[in-house]
Amino acid sequence: MTALSKAPLLARYAESLFWMARYLERVENLARVIDVTQTFESPGRPAQAWESVVRINADEALFRERYGLPQPDTVRRFYLLDVDNPTSIPASVAAARRNARTLRPLISTEMWRQMNEFHGWVAALTEEDVAPDRLSSLCTRIKEAVQLQTGITEGTFYRDQGWLFLELGRQIERADQTTRLLDIKYHLLLPSVADVGSALDLSQWHALLRAAAGYHAYRRVHPRGLTPASVADFLLLNGAFPRSTLLCIRRAEAMLDDLRHRYGLNVAGPAERLEEVRAGLEERSIERIIDVGLHEFLDWVQRMLIAASAEIGTAFFRDWRPAAGGA
Amino acid sequence: MSTELRARFDPSTLAPSAGVFDGYEPSPFFCELTSPRLGDGGALALIHRRLSALSLDDFRRRTAQAERDLFNLGITFTVYTEANAIDRILPFDPVPRVITAGEWRMLEAGVVQRVRALNLFLHDIYHGQKILQDGVVPAGLVLGNPNYRPEMQEFPVPFGTYVHICGIDIVRDEKGIFRVLEDNARTPSGVSYVIENRHAMLRAFPDLMQGIALRPVDGYGIKLLEALCDIAPQGVDDPQVVLLSPGIYNSAYFEHVFLAREMGVPLVEGADLVVENERVFMRTTRGLSPVHAIYRRIDDTFLDPTVFRPDSLLGVPGLVSAWRKGNVALANAVGTGVADDKAIYAYMPRIIRYYLSEEPILANVETLICREPEGLAATLANLERLVLKPVGESGGYGITIGPRASQAELEAARAKLIADPANWISQPMIGLSVAPTLTPDGLRPRHLDLRPYAVTGRETWVLPGGLSRVALKAGSLVVNSSQGGGSKDTWVLVQE
């Protein structure tokens, strides 16, 4: 048994670390979703693909109020340029930076510097930068900026409790985001069941895997063929793919274990929630999940993660509020 | 400078070059680079030659890069307008301000002396008040001062130290004589720029200081932490020190972060702390954890809503009573603001003589005290040549600069002075020293001051050099960052 570390961590810092990681993960995933949506856009029904982005982020009401019916250009603007949309990429980067600013006494100078530069760049994006022909490379750059931050963090951030809270936030957000990525397909396919299994449909599942950076990993498990069920199985239940929901939840549980063993924290509340959602994933086959309803299941996972997050707040952050926004 | 040192210089940097110093004319002011001084070991001439060898383009390019770095590193203060929060850097001037070893010995001794006197004065006015009874300082000036805190009476502080962190603003007159302009005994800011300016200089102008030995500036965090541990409650083995900040919206937040990092202690906000049973705790992931010493960057009146302003959300209810119980140390102590008041400043030379039986090492700017008949008479007779300052105000409010005032302004000032002489002091107008400063026209003389920082726990330590603030506008005497001031790296030479 390792001796308990003496250095205390301010509850406010722990919460800011948790949220900074969540906002960054959100930014990376939104960039992935926008990128894949452009690929989904098929002749005749471009608006539908973009509409699904609004829906999976549960932004329908705010979007309607600001822009009316979803069109490709307004959805792009809503998520890439609109700082008044709290779920937009610039708003999330700003929120991550606000947390980083609170955390400056704790995080490395290199983390702060990159965050600052990232924020400066994103805040200065213009209509021209988000034009369709530049969109894919823009999304790549956004993704890479988050990955750069992740790498700097890995290489420079001191590994005490703070690191565990950061990882906890990252894994919970990633678990959630993968369910949302999968949900796009559900939303897209719902109105046209006839397409299921068609060439168009399969190419879209391909695109989905690529958006999650999972195509090659998927191929290692399934060298031949591609079925929607096996892709959903891979993204939700694979035990080795870094963005699979099950793996992320197991990682989050490992962070809680460390917080308990090495720092003596009482993790019972959140641990129980995470165990429940993990068991829910482990004990069901993908066939069973699809039979009962993929969308409903994803919805349940999302609600459980929100509940786990609330337990984390109660257990460690007390009455603190995040620096901006919420779950 | 030794011939050995000279031999090490890259010949190309010694090549004379017309250019950046063309049209540089500091007179009638004292120039911190070109006015002749003794005991610089040849460093001033060497620095001058190296600067001359740079082209204006090179200067601009390197300075722009240095300022970009400062911005990206977030070494900024935030200006809030109605709609936006804009991050600004303190403009960085790349020409260093040089202090010789001999000058620094004198400045350091003068600062130490002044801090001793300030602490003895504070101890006295919160205890026996001998200096008031002896009539050296008028009692009304102290006891009626809004920053005098009766709550502090008869309350002992460790080592008699009230002012743990002190910043003393010093200017240099036409003859090159250093004079104290102001004491900052509450929460002086700016020390982070001293260290960051040195780092910026090392990044952008490493060739300029090559082979010139400078006193290092990076020991500040360690000394500050030592002082805070010194004053922590006795019997605590490994005291938990924290820095208490008003939070990210404070314009000095960067400095709070900087100091917390340098000391390796948590930066807390009021809501992170809680007082239970007259002990201070911070809220951590594992519950409440004890705190023993607080470097607070919050004014007295916001510190504890149960004692001072009840509407303060920045402070910690019960903090002052925990402090009075001796369960936590506070730096600076409550009630130091009375000592750095303009009215008291005028008496500082007498205060130093009274407690230390020594002559002040650092002179004040000559000050006429108008509550005294001779001072009033001399002020009235010379109003058009003097700077007239109200004693209660700060930040330059209510000042009349005689040589720059209209006849009507002078008459208005005269009327106010006669109506309430005790509210005024007057000083001659000082021609502040200048240093070469990068401007669009090349290097030009600009006025500057110096703020050394002294840290006192058991004893006093002074950070070598200090913050050199420079007025970037031609002729301006205002060095404040809020009014277009910038800053320079301050070099204290090791060799004589």
**Taking CB atoms and an 8 Å cutoff, what residues of chain B touch A264?**
286
* Confidence (pLDDT) at A321: 39
Alpha-carbon distance B171 to nearest alpha carbon in chain A (angstroms): 34
CA-CA distance, B350 to B358, in Å (whole number)? 10
**Taking CB atoms and an 8 Å cutoff, what residues of chain A touch B72?**
113, 116-117, 120
CA-CA distance, B108 to B166, in Å (whole number)? 13
CA-CA distance, A288 to A285, in Å (whole number)? 5
CA-CA distance, B288 to B276, in Å (whole number)? 10
Which of B284, B292, B295, B297 would you mutate first to test chain A, the one with the most A CBs within 10 A?
Answer: B284
CA-CA distance, B323 to B434, in Å (whole number)? 44
Q: Locate CATH 3.30.1490.270 in chain B.
A: 366-428
Determine phi and psi for B487, rounding to 5 degrees. Answer: -145, 165
Contact A9 B284 (CB under 8 A): yes
Give alpha helix (H) positions in chain A. Answer: 11-40, 46-56, 60-67, 72-80, 89-102, 109-123, 132-156, 161-189, 199-211, 215-221, 228-237, 245-263, 268-282, 286-292, 294-312
One DSSP character per residue, B292-357 reads -EEEE-S-HHHH-TTTS-TT-SSS-TTHHHHHHTTSSEEESPTTGGGTTSHHHHTTHHHHHHHHH-
Contacts 24+ apart (CB under 8 A), B415-422: B417/B370, B417/B376, B417/B379, B417/B380, B417/B383, B417/B388, B418/B380, B421/B370, B421/B371, B421/B376, B422/B370, B422/B371, B422/B391
* Residue A276: pLDDT band with limits 50, 70, 90: very high
* Confidence (pLDDT) at B396: 60
CA-CA distance, B189 to B167, in Å (whole number)? 8
User: In the predicted model, is pLDDT for residue A4 greater than 90?
Assistant: no
- Beta bridge partner(s), residue A95: none
User: In the predicted model, is pLDDT for residue A192 greater than 70?
Assistant: no
**Model pLDDT for residues B376-416, shown as the tens digit of each residue:** 999 999 999 999 998 865 556 688 989 989 999 999 999 99
* Confidence (pLDDT) at B15: 41
Contact A11 B283 (CB under 8 A): yes
B241-244: strand order across its sheet = B267-268, B241-244, B293-296, B329-331
Strands B453-456 and B368-369: unpaired
The class that CATH gives domain B366-428 is alpha beta
One DSSP character per residue, A102-164 reads HTTTTS-HHHHHHHHHHHHHHHT--GGGGSHHHHHHHHHHHHHHHHHHHHHHHHHS--SHHHH
Alpha-carbon distance B61 to nearest alpha carbon in chain A (angstroms): 20
CA-CA distance, B163 to B302, in Å (whole number)? 18
**Model pLDDT for residues A125-168, shown as the tens digit of each residue:** 999 999 989 999 999 999 999 999 999 999 999 999 999 999 99
CA-CA distance, A236 to A280, in Å (whole number)? 11
User: What is the sign, positive or negative, of the torsion defined by CA atoms of B54, B56, B61, B62?
Assistant: positive
| Token digits of residue B377 | 């008479």
Task: Strands of B391-433 (E only): list them.
Answer: 400-401, 424-428
| Nearest chain A residue to B257, by CA | A105
- Those residues of chain B that have pLDDT short of 70 are 1-18, 82-83, 392-397, 482
Number of A–B residue contacts, CB under 8 Å: 64
One DSSP character per residue, B29-70 reads SPBTTTS--SS-TTHHHHHHHHHHHS-HHHHHHHHHHHHHHH
User: What is the sign, positive or negative, of the torsion defined by CA atoms of A302, A303, A308, A312?
Assistant: positive
Helix (H) or strand (E) holding B119: helix B101-125
CA-CA distance, B109 to B470, in Å (whole number)? 24
* Confidence (pLDDT) at B139: 94
Residues 68-107, chain B, touching A (beta carbon < 8 A): 72-74
* Confidence (pLDDT) at A183: 84
Helix (H) or strand (E) holding B487: strand B485-492
Query: Which residue type occupies B34?
Result: T
CATH number of B110-168+221-344: 3.40.50.11290
DSSP state of B391: S
ipTM of model: 0.86
Determine phi and psi for A49, rounding to 5 degrees. Answer: -60, -45
B61 touches chain A (CB under 8 A): no
**Taking CB atoms and an 8 Å cutoff, what residues of chain A touch B271?**
12
**Model pLDDT for residues A48-93, shown as the tens digit of each residue:** 778 888 988 889 999 999 999 888 899 999 999 999 999 999 999 9
Helix (H) or strand (E) holding B183: strand B178-184
* Residue A44: pLDDT band with limits 50, 70, 90: low
DSSP state of A293: -
Mean pLDDT of chain A: 89
| Token digits of residue B216 | 């290092």
* Confidence (pLDDT) at A323: 37
Beta-carbon contacts of B35 under 8 Å, excluding residues fewer than 6 positions away, are B26, B176
What angle (nearest 5°) sits at the alpha carbon of residue B250, between those of residues B248 and B252?
A: 105
What angle (nearest 5°) sits at the alpha carbon of residue B29, between those of residues B28 and B34?
A: 105
* Confidence (pLDDT) at A2: 47
User: In the predicted model, is pLDDT for residue A191 greater than 50?
Assistant: no
**Taking CB atoms and an 8 Å cutoff, what residues of chain A touch B248?**
98, 101-102
User: In the predicted model, is pLDDT for residue A327 greater than 50?
Assistant: no
| Nearest chain B residue to A312, by CA | B285
Cβ B309 vs Cβ B302: under 8 Å: yes
User: In the predicted model, is pLDDT for residue A256 greater than 70?
Assistant: yes
**Model pLDDT for residues A206-251, shown as the tens digit of each residue:** 888 888 889 999 999 999 888 888 999 999 999 999 999 999 999 9
B263 touches chain A (CB under 8 A): no
B257 touches chain A (CB under 8 A): yes
* Confidence (pLDDT) at A41: 67
User: What is the sign, positive or negative, of the torsion defined by CA atoms of B226, B232, B237, B239?
Assistant: negative
The angle that helices A109-123 and A132-156 make with each other, rounded to 10 degrees, is 170
Higher pLDDT among residues A13 and B90, named by residue: A13
